[in-house]
Structure 1
Amino acid sequence: MRRRFLFAAGGTGGHVLPALAVFEAMRDLFGEFDSLFVCSGRELELSIYRARGIEPEVVGSRGIPRELSWEVLRSAWRNLKSLAEALEVLRGYRPHLVFTTGGYIGFPFAVASRALGVPCLVHEQNLRMGLSNSLSSRLAHLVLLSWRESLSIYRGPKFVLSGMPIRRMRREDEEGKLRTKERLGLSGYRLCVGVLGGSLGSLYLLDLASSLAKELSDVAFLLAGSYPEERLRGLPGNVVCMGFLEEMSDFYCASDLVLSRAGAGALAEICSFALPSVLIPWEGSAGGHQLENALMVKRAGGAEVLREGDPSTFDRALSLLKDMLDPGLRREMGLRAYSLVVPDAASRAAKIVWGCASGGV
């Protein structure tokens, strides 16, 4: 019998991309199967899916407020509607398994799958689970963890290390990296700093990179992410903006180190390329998960962590970039970052998902 899988993944690229990586690995390993993707209908989610020829089902969902207010009632009503929609989708599609990567869309499908007796697997991208996955984990058959350190936080047979599934990207040796830099017009610089503010970009990192570029004329700054056109006018000549990228191979192959926020997907990709990083966690991340992620990489020796609200951040960033002109230091930090990687994470997760749908759990 042909298997059917429902992937509940939406909200940000950080939730959508791991689900797509697992889906693609399942195709490679097990051939054809039926699939339905469900998201909350934001423009970014839809653009990522449609770029891959996937038209997802849209189910309305909303975050769960952490403080009592009228917003709690509005959110509760919206999530009750989401649960009703999730039940309707599951009854109509009748999947053999639900796979969710968390976010607002994950919890209604975890509840609905439990109510209908459908196995549900939850994947957690961050070091610590957020509220949605914490609730979903109580209903799930298994919870797949991205980082080894998470196993010291979550214990028991339900929690399994799979690693962080990332999108497929081209890897290059040193000669190939030099060719990529030359093609991008970056070959004349002593160092290329990749600046990664997430799929929507970060105006704070854009301004910081611009200020650093004025002090470091022999260092190039390569920006990935969407930024307003008016904010890109008048940037120093050693700042290059690549825009929003579906394919990030050139960005990582050209970067000698990365100045970044600390979303789990970005960190997994940075570590997989054995790149050192200077991390400035987004202070608005739910539950402070970006700071937790960043400190994990720092503990491993693969990153330095700065804070957005600290008045010394610019001076410290400038000092760190000067230190990282040393290729030996970059190499050592990059190897330490790479030590955090769980190899073949997408394939590991795909095998677990398939086995669970086959009655293996």
Structure 2
Amino acid sequence: MSKKIVLTGGGTAGHVTPNLALIPYLKEEGYEIIYIGSYEGIEKRLVADYDVKYYGVATGKFRRYMDPKNFSDPFRVIKGFAQARKILKEEKPDIVFSKGGFVSVPVVNAASALHIPCILHESDLTPGLANKLCARSADKICCNFPETMNYLPDKKAVLTGTPIRDELMTGNAMTGKNLCGFTDNKPVLMVIGGSLGAQSVNEVVREALPSILPYFNVIHICGREKVDNMRLDVPGYKQFEYVKSDLKDLFALADIVISRAGANSICELLALRKPNILVPLSKKSSRGDQILNARSFEQQGFSLVIMPEDFDENELVKKIHELYENREEYLVRMTGSGQRGAITTIMKLINELSEK
């Protein structure tokens, strides 16, 4: 009799892509896979390519600030809990694996109420609010940074790293070059701002293009509806709203990368050995987790960091040249990193708990 697993997590690509990385291995082990996400979140779109049964449930956001929705969203969470409980009772999974995000809260708590084993995964250096709310219901909590172990219950915490999709390792640089239409052999700078794009990064990069393009071709993944139509025909500058299957080829082509400091994104850069400049979200627009992630990678010698308050055209151009000139040193340190093997460790945990 085959085993059954529920995957959950969503809201951003970072709460989905590690789950996607596990899917081929779960199928290989004979698991029937079910995904529970929000009705129309990014997770539904991303999971669609993986031949996995998908359920949508109501979700509510937990905010640290005053907002009228703070009064209505708890009722959405209660509704989501009831929906998730019904799904879990019908599907009878052996285990639940959660990547976090607000959709995971009703799912994990419903699983706990039904005595279904749960594993959480926390990518950031400090746990997010959704995972904090789910920690009591979890059997194990996987994490990405050694520092994170200090924030988690001793008997539940497991240092695993982040699952990285195998297909990212199979890119072809020439395919990427043809996709971008680059015709010379200048080094390639890739700019990627997360699944939703990063408007401030987009603006500074575009301001700096006259100083960058004489030395680099630029791939700019700028986010949905954030393409600059006035720069569609600029030689050496190729814009994409969002990239799925072709991302591996663009990564293969890139020599250096500018990125936000979401944990999954920077772990992909580490796995792919791409020297990078990180521009973390400020504390004004986040809980500050990206700053901690970026500082950790900077201290380990994997990244250069530009803090949001220092991020302007001149600083960016200076850091780009500094990074490229010293890229071999970054490659050596990335190659020596021990932060690999996440999928093997996580699959072992899943198999152990699903058999209880």
TM-score by length of 1: 0.89
Amino acid at match of 2:256: L
CA contact (8 A) 1:147 1:340 kept: no
Q: Distance in 2 between matches of 1:171 and 1:243?
A: 22
Between 270-279 and 230-239, the greater mean CA deviation after superposition: 230-239
Amino acid at match of 2:84: A
Q: Distance in 2 between matches of 1:135 and 1:168?
A: 31
Residues 1:40 and 2:41 are matched in the alignment: no
Structure 1 residues 285, 264: closer, same or farther in 2, change over 3 A? farther
Could you say which residue in structure 2 is the equivalent of 1:354?
351
Could you say which residue in structure 1 is the equivalent of 2:135?
137
Could you say which residue in structure 2 is the equivalent of 1:19?
19
Alignment of 1:207-246 (within 5 A): 207-216=203-212, 217-228=214-225, 231-234=228-231, 236-246=234-244
For residue 4 of structure 1, report the CA deviation from its aligned partner: 1.4
CA contact (8 A) 2:9 2:37 kept: yes
Q: Distance in 2 between matches of 1:225 and 1:70?
A: 31
SS of aligned partner of 2:148: helix
Structure 1 residues 181, 69: closer, same or farther in 2, change over 3 A? closer
Amino acid at match of 1:246: K
TM-score by length of 2: 0.90
Alignment of 1:144-223 (within 5 A): 144-154=142-152, 156-169=154-167, 171=169, 177=173, 180-181=176-177, 184-186=180-182, 188-216=184-212, 217-223=214-220
Could you say which residue in structure 1 is the equivalent of 2:297?
297
For residue 180 of structure 1, report the CA deviation from its aligned partner: 4.8
For residue 117 of structure 1, report the CA deviation from its aligned partner: 1.0
CA contact (8 A) 2:227 2:239 kept: no
SS of aligned partner of 1:322: helix
Segments of 5+ residues of structure 2 without an aligned counterpart are none
Between 176-185 and 64-73, the greater mean CA deviation after superposition: 176-185
CA contact (8 A) 2:18 2:162 kept: yes
Amino acid at match of 2:208: L
Q: Distance in 2 between matches of 1:348 and 1:132?
A: 23
Q: Distance in 1 between matches of 2:87 and 2:179?
A: 47
Segments of 5+ residues of structure 1 without an aligned counterpart are none
Structure 1 residues 331, 184: closer, same or farther in 2, change over 3 A? same
Q: Distance in 1 between matches of 2:227 and 2:98?
A: 38
Amino acid at match of 1:224: I
Out of 88, 91, 101, the residue aligned to residue 90 of structure 1 is 88
Structure 1 residues 93, 182: closer, same or farther in 2, change over 3 A? closer
Amino acid at match of 2:118: C
SS of aligned partner of 1:228: coil
Structure 1 residues 138, 170: closer, same or farther in 2, change over 3 A? closer
CA deviation digits over 1:2-24, x for unaligned, max 9? 21111112212111111121222
Could you say which residue in structure 1 is the equivalent of 2:260?
261
Could you say which residue in structure 1 is the equivalent of 2:279?
280
For residue 115 of structure 1, report the CA deviation from its aligned partner: 1.2
CA RMSD of aligned residues (A): 2.3
Between 291-300 and 216-225, the greater mean CA deviation after superposition: 216-225
Could you say which residue in structure 2 is the equivalent of 1:318?
317
